[in-house]
Chain A
Amino acid sequence: MAAHLKKRVYEEFSQVVQIPQEEAPAKKLRLSKPSKSAALHIDLCKATNSTDALQYLLQFARKPVEVESVEGVIRILLEHYYKETDNSVRLKIASLLGLLSKTQGFRPDCIVDDAINTLNNEKSHQVLAQLLDTLLVIGTQLPESPTVRQRLIEMACKHLSDSYFGVRNKCLKLLGCLGTVDAPLTKDNEGLGTSLGLCRGVRDVQSIISDYFGDQDPRVRTAAIKAMLQLHERGMKIHEIIYNQACRLLTDDYEQVRSAAVQMVWVLSQLYPESIVPIPSSNEEIRLVDDVFGKISHMVSDGSWMVRVQAAKTLGSILQVSPHFLEQTLDKKLMSDLRRKRTAHERAKELFTSGEFSSGRKWADDAPKEKLDTNTVYLIASGACGAFVHGLEDEMFEVRIAAVEALSQLARSSPSFAEKCLDFLVDMFNDEIEEVRLQSIHVLREISTHITLREDQLDTVLAVLEDSSRDIREALHELICYTNVSTKECIQLALLELLKNLNKYPTDRNSVWKCLKFLGSRHPTLVLPLVPELLSTHPYFDTPEPDMDDPAYIAVLVLVFNAAKSCPTMPALFSDHTFRHYAYLRDSLSHLVPPLRLPGNGLDLVDSRCSSGSVESAQLFLQQSLNRVSTIQNLEAPGAQDLLNFTIRDLRRLGELQTELAGAADFCATYLRCQLLLMKALQEKLWNMAVPLCLKQNVTATAAAQQILEETYKLEFLYSGLESRQVATIHHVRLQAKALQLVLTARTRQGLDPLISSCEKFLQDIESFQRLFLAELPHLQDSFVDKLLELMPRLSSCKPVETVKILQTTLRQSGLLQLRLPEQIHRATATIIEPTGESDNPLKFTTGLVVALDIDATLEHVQDPQNIVKVQVLYPDGQSHMIHPKPGDFRKPGPNRHRLITQVYLSHTAWTEPSQIEVRLLLAYSSSSTSLSSASPASKLGWSDSIDSLPQPEAAVEGTIPFSKPVKVYIMPKPARR
Chain B
Amino acid sequence: MPEIKVTPLGAGQDVGRSCILVSIGGKNIMLDCGMHMGYNDDRRFPDFSYITQNGRLTEFLDCVIISHFHLDHCGALPFMSEMVGYDGPIYMTHPTKAICPILLEDFRKITVDKKGETNFFTSQMIKDCMKKVVPLNLHQTVQVDDELEIKAYYAGHVLGAAMVHIKVGLESVVYTGDYNMTPDRHLGAAWIDKCRPDVLISESTYATTIRDSKRCRERDFLKKVHESIERGGKVLIPVFALGRAQELCILLETFWERMNLKAPIYFSTGLTEKANHYYKLFITWTNQKIRKTFVQRNMFEFKHIKPFDRSYADNPGPMVVFATPGMLHAGQSLQIFKKWAGHEKNMVIMPGYCVQGTIGHKILNGQRKLEMEGRATLDVKLQVEYMSFSAHADAKGIMQLIRMAEPRNMLLVHGEAVKMEFLKGKIEQEFSVDCHMPANGETVTVTTNPSVPVDISLNLLKREMALGGTLPDPKKPRTMHGTLIMKENSLKLVSSEQALKELGLNEHQLRFTCRVPLQDPHSDPDTLHGIYLHLKSVLKGYTIQHLPDGTVMVESIVIKVSSSAEDPNTKVLLLSWSYQDEDLGSFLSTLLKKGLPSGLC
Contacts and interface: CB of A to CB of B under 8 A. Distances in A.
Interface stretch (B28-36, B77-85, B392-400, B578-586): B392-400
A430 B426 CA distance: 34
A195 B468 CA distance: 11
B223 A432 contact: no
Contacts of A426: 219
A466 B259 contact: yes
Most buried by B among A194, A356, A360, A460: A360
A468 B218 contact: no
Contacts, number: 136
Contacts of A580: none
Most buried by A among B289, B395, B396, B399: B396
Given A468-B259, A469-B258, A357 B193 contact: no
B475 to A, nearest CB: 8
Interface string B194-223: 100000000000101111111111111011
B288 A358 contact: no
Given A360-B211, A395-B188, A380 B387 contact: no
A303 B215 contact: no
B219 A379 contact: no
Given A394-B183, A396-B288, A303 B388 contact: no
B497 to A, nearest CB: 25
Interface string B480-512: 000000000000000000000000000000000
Nearest to B419: A366
B415 to A, nearest CB: 13
B185 A432 contact: yes
Given A253-B194, A333-B210, A393-B182, A427 B470 contact: no
Contact of B390 (A194, A360, A362, A428): A360
Contacts of B423: 379
Interface string A375-409: 10111100000100100111111000000000000
Contacts of B218: 427, 430
Interface in B270-327: 287-289
A466 B214 CA distance: 22
A158 to B, nearest CB: 13
B118 interface: no
A364 interface: yes
B399 A397 contact: no
Interface in B359-414: 364-365, 386-388, 390, 394-396, 399-400, 403-404
A359 interface: yes
A431 B288 CA distance: 13
Which of B220, B222, B260, B474 has most A Cβ within 10 Å? B260
B450 interface: no
Interface string A359-373: 111111010000000
B350 A463 contact: no
A145 B206 CA distance: 65
B396 A380 contact: yes
A377 B399 CA distance: 13
Contact of A460 (B210, B219, B404, B429): B219
Interface string B168-191: 000000000000001101001101
A145 to B, nearest CB: 32
B257 interface: yes
Interface in B111-158: none
B219 A430 contact: yes
B213 A379 contact: no
Interface string B3-33: 0000000000000000000000000000000
Nearest to A436: B289
B48 interface: no
A379 B399 contact: yes
Interface residues of B, number: 59
Contact of A357 (B223, B350, B388, B395): B395
A393 B215 contact: yes
B471 interface: yes
Nearest to A427: B215
Given A161-B470, A364-B364, A303 B259 contact: no
A467 interface: yes
A335 interface: yes
B365 A468 contact: no
Contact of B289 (A333, A359, A389, A432): A432
B399 A380 contact: yes
A361 B220 contact: yes
A108 to B, nearest CB: 32
B422 A374 contact: yes
Contacts of A386: 396
Given A196-B470, A332-B396, A393-B213, A356 B208 contact: yes
A514 B258 CA distance: 23
A427 B221 CA distance: 12
What 5 pairs across the A-B complex have the smallest Cβ distances? A360-B388, A427-B215, A395-B183, A363-B386, A360-B211
16 contacts: A197-B470, A197-B473, A332-B210, A335-B210, A358-B206, A359-B212, A364-B365, A374-B425, A378-B429, A379-B399, A395-B188, A423-B216, A427-B213, A427-B216, A427-B218, A469-B258
Interface of B: 182-183, 185, 188-189, 191-194, 206, 208-220, 222-223, 226, 254, 257-260, 287-289, 350, 364-365, 386-388, 390, 394-396, 399-400, 403-404, 422-423, 425-426, 429-430, 470-471, 473-475
Given A357-B209, A379-B399, A393-B214, 4 more contacts: A303-B191, A303-B404, A395-B189, A468-B258
